[in-house]
């Protein structure tokens, strides 16, 4: 499994240490992978009528925004792609806080491993 972030290499190292991640972390400071994947970027991509509700939900769940690392205007997404290039799952974030359902991601990862 590989996760791509948009920060710098030292951000990936800090994240790996802080979260004890069991997967490979790559960084794409120029965000070429983000553009190729069609991920949204910009003020309108981050803030929407739903983003305030997403922030409130996160805070209620005990999550807090820390120092921004990477591009604060870049939205993310989740793609589960097999080694042969088949896409089993795709989620493109519409605004800040729009995340893939973890059960859906894990099911796609299981299918990829089968």
Query: How many structural domains comprise the chain?
Result: 1
**Domain span including residue 101:** 30-113
In a domain, 24, yes or no: no
> Token pair of 2, please?
């590989």
In a domain, 9, yes or no: no
In a domain, 46, yes or no: yes
- Distance from C-alpha of 98 to C-alpha of 100, rounded to nearest angstrom: 7
Task: Please list, residue by residue across 59-85, b when 16 or more beta carbons sit within 10 angstroms of its beta carbon and e when fewer do.
Answer: eeeeeeeeeebbeebbbbbbbbeeeee
| pLDDT tens track for 84-98 | 989 999 999 887 778
Mean pLDDT calculated for residue range 62-88: 84
In a domain, 96, yes or no: yes
In a domain, 17, yes or no: no
Greater confidence (50 vs 72) lies with 72
Q: What is the mean pLDDT of the chain?
A: 84
């Amino acid at each position: 499994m590989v996760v791509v972030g948009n920060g710098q290499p030292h951000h990936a190292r800090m994240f790996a240490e802080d979260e004890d991640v069991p997967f490979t972390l790559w960084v794409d400071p120029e965000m070429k992978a983000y553009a190729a994947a069609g991920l949204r970027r910009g003020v309108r991509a981050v803030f929407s009528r739903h983003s305030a509700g997403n922030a409130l939900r996160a805070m209620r769940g005990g999550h807090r925004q820390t120092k921004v690392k990477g591009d604060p205007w870049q939205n993310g997404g989740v793609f589960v792609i097999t080694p042969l290039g088949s896409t089993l799952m795709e989620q493109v974030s519409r605004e800040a806080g729009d995340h893939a359902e973890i059960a859906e991601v894990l099911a796609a990862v299981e299918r990829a491993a089968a």
